[in-house]
Amino acid sequence: MKKEIDVLVIGGSAAGIVAATTGKAFYPDKQVLIVRKEAEAVVPCGIPYIYGTLKGVEQNVIPVSHIEQAGVELMIDEVVSIDEVAKTARTKGGAEICYDKLVIATGSVPKVPGWLKGTELDNVFTIPKDREYLAALKSRLETCSKVVIIGAGFIGVEIADELGKKAKDITLVEVLPHVLQMAFDEELSVRAEEILTAGGVKLRLEEKVEEIEGNGQVAGVCLSGGELLEADAVILATGYLPNTTLARDAGIKLNEFGAIRVDEYMRTENKDVFAVGDCAEKFSFFTRIAKGLMLASTACSEARIAGMNLYKLSRLRTFGGTMSIFSTAIGGTTFAAAGVTEHVAIERGFDVVTGSAEGIDKHPGTLPGVSKQYVKLIVNRESGLVLGGSVIGGASAGELINVIGVIIENMMTIHSVLTLQFGTHPLLTGSPTGYPLIKAAEAVAKKLRY
Amino acid sequence: MKKEIDVLVIGGSAAGIVAATTGKAFYPDKQVLIVRKEAEAVVPCGIPYIYGTLKGVEQNVIPVSHIEQAGVELMIDEVVSIDEVAKTARTKGGAEICYDKLVIATGSVPKVPGWLKGTELDNVFTIPKDREYLAALKSRLETCSKVVIIGAGFIGVEIADELGKKAKDITLVEVLPHVLQMAFDEELSVRAEEILTAGGVKLRLEEKVEEIEGNGQVAGVCLSGGELLEADAVILATGYLPNTTLARDAGIKLNEFGAIRVDEYMRTENKDVFAVGDCAEKFSFFTRIAKGLMLASTACSEARIAGMNLYKLSRLRTFGGTMSIFSTAIGGTTFAAAGVTEHVAIERGFDVVTGSAEGIDKHPGTLPGVSKQYVKLIVNRESGLVLGGSVIGGASAGELINVIGVIIENMMTIHSVLTLQFGTHPLLTGSPTGYPLIKAAEAVAKKLRY
């Protein structure tokens, strides 16, 4: 079967869908086709919630209707090769697709440490974005009572928190001194650890895993000190790798992380080939350093930029580097960060001043459902520019971190933050007199002796 | 008694406290004194919640501890005259206070329509920022079952919503075609009306009140069509006037609304006298038109600017006009707006393009506690600048409107909004693929045929 199309998008998770629908919206005359393996794609960041809050995988799929409504065609098949010169792609199902523009959105796959013994044992799992695998994992976990999770990044922490709700015996092992250490400064990580511990999750920090033990089926995880943690199941939450075998085989250039090299329009070296999402190169908004970070929100931002630039470049619509805006909820408390953390800023060579404030997220504090709200700002001493911020709070902190994100992206100084106007309301936000973001800015200003 | 002080702040509600504490923070060597009548000041925007969600007025006071901790002195007394030349103020208690800098933060008082008959009847109330009055009102309302509220601005709507929870017979009368019409476009107001009606509040829109009837005690409200609405109690929520008798008597210049004229540093014509909050002049961020708007959040922003500029002007810390960022919750649904509404933008002479999108505020939509989230953006056609935005949603919309506020205040164009990075999380925000703010920006871009 031979098929001609204007825009071919390979991969149909978040980034692929957004690249395709944005492309179609900006170039309505073009025919856009997504080819993906899965009839139904899971919501990537929703995966941990399959194991607690949601009933199952079927509650965590991206609706196909969005794709159809946008006028984008969807083919369930797997692209097995790309010919950049002939501008064709071949599928497992035997189709040959001729394209004008190609968008690669093949995502990422779980990284299994090569040195780690025992990962092939039964009941040792990873967390791939694969509906069937995740559904099978859910039913297998029902029969397990002792679960060891290796890796306390977002996926590890969120799954531990969710499985904890199911009254299982959960141990979370992390080689670094703190959970979520790549995303947060120590004071936030410590607070997250307190909540996890209070929820019954056993934390083993600064512990290296020696090997996974068992005979056919997993029996436990052996730490480098010799201790054995018994386990009916082990989950490897040890990160992800760009899924770029297809691109590499086609001769498309990769960076040192194995991610596809892209320019600010999300184009590869070949001007007709774009790459977006976890498979595409990431670099820092502040230093242009390449990084391994993978976020659905960043992926969608890249995908929008690719879609808009498919047939006509716009200087106004370029990708200026990943801002790293994170949020999560642990035991009902929100943890969020934008830009750089204090420790990363210092590591990168910035002279920074930080300020923090703790308040409440409704006012007066006598209202039902009030949560504490902690805000920290990280500011470049010389320029006064806000480089980062973090928040601990109730559910509204998930959008408050986006306020800080917009502040950073606009390269606002701490002066201008001090005079920013905010809307406040008793039931919805901190008080106008004690709005923690402003109070944190004041704390910075005080240190700068303005 | 004679007292010397560096900075005298008259009035100790939100704006007075913030002016005083900011002044003290930026000029720690200066002695700062607040003189206010009330031993305890009520949280201004919390007042409606005294009548439903909170147990009483005592749960809605601004803690005095914040003032003391900041090193600001508090005197409970009433300033009765100011001598600008001698730089002194006299109090009812007989004190004479010599100051170097003066900040007037005397707030506002309820506006009672002069033409309206019957406002002096028993059980006809206003909503002043007065602890004792509000407490007395609460106990009086306990015995009333039929309440008519005149005026469907924020105070009227919020009190109606709260009293509705107490299973009273509530009628809300408004002369304009819609509730909250000064703050929102019609589609938002209509949604608010549906929620109020579903909650049992009877709406009488486009109805002019002829007079309030009764004999000693109120008996009802007579509409101009002749109909009589029976009432045990009537609440006048017909706006507020700047409380500027003291300033006027001292010869300080007022504007056409009776508000104290101020410059961008919040100074009056006298360089040593500042005015902030409801008693100070307000003007539009976009057109410099003087306006009558009163918001605690704006008041605090002005107060911060006054405090920082007391002894040393800073070009970086000026007030550029009121952004009008509102939020409220009606029957548990958040309504919020920032900048101009579509109808006001058109009225002012802007050629605008609007775009809206509806999504959800968690993802996937199968998660418990998901609310719909509607976002509308108002964009200047020629410049592409975002002039306003509005949101209907769950509790997180209270901070989402601040995201839009920061976008407007930074004079961002719709192009740059399209490429903004946002943090998303299943439990906290809309999805990265369908984030309604981005979708609304796309809808605008589509209309502009970018």
Determine what percent of chain A is predicted with pLDDT higher than 70: 100
* Cβ atoms of residues B389 and B354 within 8 Å: no
**Chain A residues lying within 8 Å of B66, measured CB to CB:** 433-434
Q: Which of A336, A367, A420 sits opposite B423 (nearest CB)?
A: A336
Task: Kindly tell me if the per-residue pLDDT of B449 is higher than 80.
Answer: no
Helix or strand run (H / E) with residue A22: helix A14-26
Interface of A with B in 323-362 (CB under 8 A): 323, 325-329, 334, 336, 338
Domain B2-108+241-309: assigned CATH number: 3.50.50.60
d(CA A161, CA A140): 18
**CATH code for A334-447?**
3.30.390.30
Q: How much is the pLDDT for B325?
A: 95
Beta-strand relationship, A233-236 and A124-125: parallel
**A171–chain B Cβ distance below 8 A for any pair:** no
**Which amino acid, A163?**
L
**Confidence band of B199 (pLDDT split at 50, 70, 90):** very high
What is the percent of chain A with per-residue pLDDT over 90, rounded to a whole number?
93
- Contact at CB, B410 and A413, closer than 8 angstroms: no
- Report the complex ipTM: 0.94
| Contact (Cβ atoms closer than 8 angstroms) between residue A423 and residue A393 | no
Query: Is the omega angle on the peptide bond into residue A113 within 30 degrees of 0, that is, cis?
Result: no
| In the predicted structure, residue A276 carries a pLDDT above the cut 60 | yes
Vertex B58 angle, CA B55 and B61, to 5°: 120
For residue range A92-144, list pLDDT tens digits in order. 999 999 999 999 999 999 999 999 999 999 999 999 999 999 999 999 999 99
CATH no. of A124-238: 3.50.50.60
| The predicted structure's pLDDT at residue A433 | 93
Return mean pLDDT, chain A: 96
- Residues in chain A with CB shorter than 8 Å from the CB of B297 are 421-424, 432, 435
Q: How confident is the model at residue A66 (pLDDT cuts 50, 70, 90)?
A: confident
* Shortest distance, CA A316 to any CA of chain B (angstroms): 6
Q: What is the pLDDT of residues A168-207, one digit of tens each?
A: 899 999 999 999 999 999 999 999 999 999 999 999 999 9
Annotated domain spans of chain B:
2-108+241-309, 124-238, 335-447
With residues binned 3-state (H G I as helix, E B as strand, rest as coil), the percentages for chain A, rounded to 5, are 30, 30, 45
pLDDT of B348 reads 92
Render pLDDT for B215-241 as a digit per residue (tens, 0 to 9). Answer: 999 999 999 999 999 999 999 999 999
**A43 has a chain B CB within 8 A of its CB:** yes
Report d(CA B415, CA A26) in Å as an integer.
Answer: 13
Residue A199: the pLDDT is: 95
Pairing state of beta strands B101-104 and A372-380?
unpaired
Selected residue of A309, A316, A401, A428 to mutate for chain B interface (largest B Cβ count, 10 A): A428
With an 8 Å Cβ cutoff, are B45 and A424 in contact? yes
What is residue B259's DSSP assignment? Answer: P
B309 touches chain A (CB under 8 A): no
A449 pLDDT band (50/70/90 cuts)? Answer: confident
Q: Is the pLDDT of residue A288 over 90?
A: no
| Interchain contact, A317 vs B419, CB within 8 Å | yes
Q: Residues A330-347: what's their mean pLDDT?
A: 96
- pLDDT confidence of residue B450: 52
CA distance B188 to B373: 12
Q: Which residues pair with A253 in a beta bridge?
A: none
Cβ contact B279:B108 at 8 Å? yes
Encode B327-388 in three state secondary structure: EEEECCEEEEEEECCHHHHHHHCCCEEEEEEEEECCCCCCCCCCCEEEEEEEEECCCCEEEE
Query: What's the CATH fold of domain A2-44+56-107+241-309?
Result: FAD/NAD(P)-binding domain (3.50.50)
Q: Min CA distance, A307 vs chain B (Å)?
A: 11
Would you say residue A235 has pLDDT above 70?
A: yes
Residues in B touching A53 (Cβ below 8 Å): 367-368, 427
Q: What is the mean pLDDT of residues A33-40?
A: 95
Q: How far is A346 from chain B (nearest CA, A)?
A: 23
* pLDDT(A425) > 80: yes
Which residues of chain B does A298 touch, with a Cβ-Cβ cutoff of 8 Å? 421
Q: How far apart are CA A286 and CA A324, in angstroms?
A: 11
d(C-alpha B203, C-alpha A355), whole Å: 48
Q: Could you check whether B2-108+241-309 and B124-238 share the same CATH topology? A: yes
* pLDDT (0 to 100) of residue A166: 85
Determine the residue among B377, B399, B411 to mutate to test chain A binding: the one whose Cβ has the most chain A Cβ atoms within 10 Å.
B399
Task: Provide the residue count of chain B.
Answer: 450
Which residues of chain B does A390 touch, with a Cβ-Cβ cutoff of 8 Å?
Answer: none
CATH C-level class of B335-447: alpha beta
pLDDT of residue A374: 98
* Residue linked to tokens 């500011």: A379
- Mean pLDDT calculated for residue range B266-284: 96
For B99-149, the pLDDT digits (tens) are: 999 999 999 999 999 999 999 999 999 999 999 999 999 999 999 999 999
Most B CBs within 10 Å, among A410, A424, A444, to test the B interface: A424
Name which of A406, A435, A449 to mutate to probe chain B: the one with the most chain B Cβ atoms within 10 A of its Cβ.
Answer: A406
Contacts of A395 in chain B (CB under 8 A): 395-396, 427-428
How many C-alpha atoms does B42 have within 13 Å on its Cβ side? 22
CB-based contact B164:B133 (threshold 8 Å): no
Structure confidence at residue B261 (pLDDT)? 97
**What pLDDT is attached to residue A450?**
52
Q: Which residue has the tokens 């589609």?
A: B187
Q: Sorting pLDDT into bands at 50, 70 and 90, what band is A317?
A: confident
Query: Within the 58-117 window of chain A, which residues sit less than 8 Å (CB to CB) from chain B?
Result: 59-62, 66
E strands in A199-305: 202-204, 209-215, 217-223, 228-230, 233-236, 240-242, 273-275, 282-283, 290-291
* Mean pLDDT for the stretch of residues B269-283: 97
Q: Which residues contact B427 (CB under 8 A, 6 or more apart)?
A: A49, A53, A329, A395, A398, B362, B367
